Structure 1
Amino acid sequence: MAGLRLFAVLFLGFASGLPLALSGQAMQAWLTVDGLDIATIGFLGLVGIPYSFKFLWAPLMDRFDPPFLGRRRGWLVITQLSLAVMLYWMAQLSPKDNLELFAVVALLVAFMSASQDIVVDAYRTDVLLAHERGLGGSFAVFGYRVGMIVSGGIALIWAQEQGWGQVYQVMAGIMVVAAGLSLVLLPKVSSELKPLASEPKQELLGFTAMLLGFAGGWFAAQFVLIGLGFDPATPNKWWKLVFLLTQVLVALPAGYWMARKVGFETLNRSLDSYFSQTGAVAFMLLIILYKLGDAFAGSLTTPFLIKGMGFLSGEVGIVIKIFGMWPTILGALLAGVLMLRWSLFKSLLVFGVLQLFSNLGFWVLAMQGRGAWGSFMLPAFDWVLVSSSTASEIDFLLMTVISVENITSGMGTAAFTVLLMSLCNQRFTATHYALLSAFASLGRIYVSPLSGVLSESIGWPNFFLFSMLMAVPGLVAVWWMRSAIHGVAGR
């Protein structure tokens, strides 16, 4: 039975990782090839905003189960089929010719992907026993990274041969298959730990009130800012970023106030449950900071390699996701083995230090440039799922940088996943994990527009040095909270 649980975690990790790149790295490559400027690509990273707000609708997935399909499993099937529809729609569009509609559909893909993540994370936390979490966390990261390899790397190779529209249609088909497997293969989750019963109409009313509060705060902030003389259409990218972030900072508390006022009970009980824990706020700060340096370095990796360094998209795909697959596997397995012996605190600290130094590789690449360590020619190949009709030049420095990044990032993410699972109350798993992972995604989402503007302002080498500096506060937070980390790991 343990083997089946670990297989389920591995499979769902893949299903969760696949759509992320399709509104992230793969989409960036599509936009770059279509000729959009770096700052615009950076701002389109904001389509990932649903990952930051997913805790707002996660309570509905804790409270309600689709009929006949079972707890957690029903929502998996619904979100995966919805992703298939959205990806197929996205495949029919051209970002260059219809950027606004393309961005809206990409936002819908991110919304359904974030919704799938809510259920995947909750299912993993519910189904794994406490002693299985270290190995289960590494399996989840392994599957997740393989999913990103397919959509963020192999997709680049397919796109060079078939075009991006065809690639997104294939990804839609994969999500249909995933929905079928979720329906027939996944072990059931007990419904005994479901939140206490509440009035369904009141839950939906509270959820609606929260959305209205969020929208009201958003437009109120916009009205005030325009009244103060701020122009949302300003060509100044820094002011545009400030305008957007101010709207978010006003909208969130407005939505939360309305949820409290009207009575969105599952959300309210869930938040009360989390914040009753000792060190709850400090843990949220740690969660934001731990992957921040990684988020800066990774936010514009694809445009940096293609536009900044002049690599071809097919070469980037081969190096990142074919040669990079083996370091990813090594990192995931190594993390799982080490976490069987190490404490959670030691794992977070050591893996975090390795993450920091992996960013140095991008700085070296930015300084020395393409070809600095030589290259070799990879002949044309056909490996069934992946093929290239022409020979590809493979850069040794690029391959080294990506390999080191894949190993260390995977190790850090495995330890981080175990930390998040340890902080969840199983009555509110979906909401708690969604809340914590939403805070974890703040760096990845909001760093993207800042990274686009910053890289244009200070240049790529200084940008990657800055990313290393931004990794330091997360390590300080881990050391400062070592006693609290030991405490939650022992539960």
Structure 2
Amino acid sequence: MFKQIQRLQRLTAILFLGFASGLPLALTGQAMQAWLTTDGVAIATIGFLALVGMPYTFKFLWAPLMDRFEPSWLGRRRGWLVLTQLFLAVSIYYLSTISYTTSPATFAVIALLVTFLSASQDIVIDAYRTDVLEADERGIGASMSVLGYRIGMILSGGIALIWADQWQSWSRVYQMMAGVMLFSAIFSLVFLPTVKSEIKPLNSDPKKELLGFLALLLGVLAGVYVTRFAFMAAGIDFAEASKWVQLAYVLVSLSVALPMGVKAAQYVGFATLTQSLSSYFNQKSAWAFLILIILYKLGDAFAGSLFTPFLLKGMLFTQIEVGIVNKIIGIWLTIIGAFLAGLLMMRFTLFQALMSFGVLQLLSNFGFYALAILGKGAWGSFTLMPFDLGFVAVTVPTQIDSLLMSAIALENITSGMGTAAFVALLMSLCSNQFSATHYALLSALAAVGRIYVSPVAGVLSESLGWPNFFLFSVVTAVPGVVMLWWMRESVYRISQKHIEQKSS
């Protein structure tokens, strides 16, 4: 009985932390896109502003510091959680006081700070989930995490749209979200279960760790400088360059700067980084898993990268209709998808879950294609009567487009299922001693699609049109499914390791 209570406490904590993780993501994603769209910012510019999400792809660089050091008075993992959530509350509130149209540079910098803190929070949440869950809890734990994550995004990405429409103020919405993050910090401080006492950081020289991190940063900056110098030597004027050239510069900079940073860190002696990377890459099929992680959610990322501008500007749906359909009604569909995934994963092997859910999330992109082709009102509509849930209310009857409802229903259920299996895969690839660094590395690669397809998506949507854009998103989902089939034996081996851990 006591063990069941402890399990319930752990799963409740995972549900809440999933919520805390999902909340700030939409504030620099869908919600920010809606804010900028209503302010009249061009879609291509909105697509490039998605690059403020770059910290999600770099978080494995500072994750070793969060593996190695802990605020001692709050305990392992919990200390970093409380600190990042407090700073998130402050930075989100500050963002609410800025307008992109009057201060674009300041807006972009503070949005970048929010994503840095959000990525840092994710590092700790992912490590905490990996450390605190028992082996036989990973499937249902992944589902609870996804459920909480989606609820967080529903609040900041959907209910926020309704509030913005009713209050006529995005600043007020962001201030509300800052208050929610403050509550999250208090909850983490008081209610989270502690991780196992035997899981301890690496016993290394703290000064060398910090010097190694500094060397890492200097190496990355040197790589960026070298790339910029090379582009300028080739006669490229960044002020006049096209968005494709600017995107190429960003991607080349990454490919040069990251290896230079890692080499510099290894030379100085950043032990937690080097040993954690060695620990991961010593696994069989390590590189193949990295490619799979990038490809598995790529089609999903393409379809969702400009989803909000598509609905608001391309299809001319209202903010309140998008908020109700995409998030308020979508919450029940997400709950169904998350719990269905959890139940199925108790019976499926890891490969079976990844394959079946991956195919379903690929097919869901055809719903957006149908919406773009057939148009608003093609399947009629129905009336949603007024409601008041306390935290959000709709005071007048609202017409809901049936095709919009169908497309979003399919996306919410299948994407939630695919993400649950994906999270279980990532946890299975992590070592507990380096769980923050390992999970940060893996999830950073998973974020590559979501972050770096947005600039491409913005240009493609304007040049191809929305119908062809969503067909292209289907095509980009195919390599992930093919890669998964090719790696079925490797995934099966990971699944067997999971079963052995469960029985031991």
TM-score range, shorter chain: over 0.9
Alpha-carbon distance in structure 1 between the residues aligned to 2:107 and 2:15:
31
Find the counterpart in structure 2 of residue 76 from structure 1.
81
Letter aligned with residue 407 of structure 1? I
Find the counterpart in structure 1 of residue 297 from structure 2.
291
Find the counterpart in structure 1 of residue 118 from structure 2.
113
Find the counterpart in structure 2 of residue 185 from structure 1.
191
Find the counterpart in structure 1 of residue 19 from structure 2.
14
Find the counterpart in structure 1 of residue 10 from structure 2.
5
The offset of 1:28, in angstroms, is 0.4
Letter aligned with residue 180 of structure 2? I
Alpha-carbon distance in structure 1 between the residues aligned to 2:413 and 2:399:
23
Alpha-carbon distance in structure 1 between the residues aligned to 2:202 and 2:247:
41
The offset of 1:352, in angstroms, is 0.4
The offset of 1:463, in angstroms, is 0.6
Out of 65, 82, 90, the position equivalent to 1:85 is: 90
Find the counterpart in structure 2 of residue 468 from structure 1.
474
Find the counterpart in structure 2 of residue 57 from structure 1.
62
Alpha-carbon distance in structure 2 between the residues aligned to 1:234 and 1:274:
42
Find the counterpart in structure 2 of residue 281 from structure 1.
287
Letter aligned with residue 176 of structure 1? L
SS in 2 for 1:376: strand
Out of 122, 125, 150, the position equivalent to 1:145 is: 150
Residues 167-316 of structure 1 mapped to structure 2, 5 A cutoff: 167-234=173-240, 236-316=242-322
Find the counterpart in structure 2 of residue 164 from structure 1.
170
Structure-2-length-normalised TM-score: 0.96
Alpha-carbon distance in structure 2 between the residues aligned to 1:418 and 1:380:
39
Residues 328-477 of structure 1 mapped to structure 2, 5 A cutoff: 328-477=334-483
The offset of 1:203, in angstroms, is 0.5
Alpha-carbon distance in structure 1 between the residues aligned to 2:404 and 2:470:
15
Aligned residues: 491
Residues 94-113 of structure 1 mapped to structure 2, 5 A cutoff: 94-113=99-118
Confirm or deny: 8 A CA contact 1:194 1:427 kept in the other structure: yes
Find the counterpart in structure 2 of residue 23 from structure 1.
28
Letter aligned with residue 421 of structure 2? A
Confirm or deny: 8 A CA contact 1:232 1:243 kept in the other structure: no
Letter aligned with residue 199 of structure 1? D
Letter aligned with residue 320 of structure 2? G
SS in 2 for 1:490: helix
Out of 319, 323, 328, the position equivalent to 2:325 is: 319
CA deviation map 1:120-157 (0-9, x unaligned): 00000001111110111101000000000000000000
CA deviation map 1:180-199 (0-9, x unaligned): 11011010012422233111
Please say which of residues 182-191 and 49-58 is displaced more in the overlay: 182-191
Letter aligned with residue 215 of structure 1? L
Confirm or deny: 8 A CA contact 2:69 2:201 kept in the other structure: no
Alpha-carbon distance in structure 2 between the residues aligned to 1:178 and 1:214:
33
Alpha-carbon distance in structure 2 between the residues aligned to 1:204 and 1:191:
25
Find the counterpart in structure 2 of residue 39 from structure 1.
44
Alpha-carbon distance in structure 1 between the residues aligned to 2:334 and 2:33:
22
Alpha-carbon distance in structure 2 between the residues aligned to 1:96 and 1:312:
22
Find the counterpart in structure 1 of residue 3 from structure 2.
none
CA deviation map 1:408-444 (0-9, x unaligned): 0000000000000000011100000000000000000
Structure-1-length-normalised TM-score: 0.99
Find the counterpart in structure 1 of residue 131 from structure 2.
126
The offset of 1:379, in angstroms, is 4.0
Letter aligned with residue 160 of structure 1? D
Alpha-carbon distance in structure 2 between the residues aligned to 1:453 and 1:484:
37
Find the counterpart in structure 2 of residue 481 from structure 1.
487
Alpha-carbon distance in structure 1 between the residues aligned to 2:93 and 2:271:
36
Letter aligned with residue 41 of structure 1? I
Alpha-carbon distance in structure 2 between the residues aligned to 1:235 and 1:456:
18
Confirm or deny: 8 A CA contact 2:372 2:466 kept in the other structure: yes
Alpha-carbon distance in structure 2 between the residues aligned to 1:473 and 1:234:
35
Alpha-carbon distance in structure 1 between the residues aligned to 2:254 and 2:197:
35
Identity %, equivalent residues = 63
Alpha-carbon distance in structure 2 between the residues aligned to 1:265 and 1:93:
41
CA deviation map 1:316-335 (0-9, x unaligned): 01110011111100000000
Confirm or deny: 8 A CA contact 1:233 1:240 kept in the other structure: no
Alpha-carbon distance in structure 2 between the residues aligned to 1:191 and 1:23:
36
Confirm or deny: 8 A CA contact 1:194 1:428 kept in the other structure: no
SS in 1 for 2:399: strand
The offset of 1:241, in angstroms, is 1.3
Alpha-carbon distance in structure 2 between the residues aligned to 1:236 and 1:389:
46
CA deviation map 1:341-367 (0-9, x unaligned): 000000000000000000000000000
CA deviation map 1:295-333 (0-9, x unaligned): 000100000100111111111011100111111000000
SS in 2 for 1:321: helix
Alpha-carbon distance in structure 1 between the residues aligned to 2:208 and 2:249:
34
Letter aligned with residue 19 of structure 1? P
The offset of 1:6, in angstroms, is 0.6
The offset of 1:229, in angstroms, is 1.3
Alpha-carbon distance in structure 1 between the residues aligned to 2:387 and 2:346:
39
The offset of 1:175, in angstroms, is 0.6
Letter aligned with residue 483 of structure 1? E
CA deviation map 1:48-83 (0-9, x unaligned): 000000000000110011021000000000000010
Alpha-carbon distance in structure 2 between the residues aligned to 1:256 and 1:327:
43
Structure 2, unpaired ranges of 5+: 1-5, 498-504
Alpha-carbon distance in structure 2 between the residues aligned to 1:384 and 1:232:
50
The offset of 1:167, in angstroms, is 0.5
Alpha-carbon distance in structure 2 between the residues aligned to 1:465 and 1:232:
32
Confirm or deny: 8 A CA contact 2:30 2:157 kept in the other structure: yes
Confirm or deny: 8 A CA contact 1:234 1:240 kept in the other structure: no
SS in 1 for 2:434: helix
| Residues 280 and 265 of structure 1, relative CA distance in 2, 3 Å threshold | same
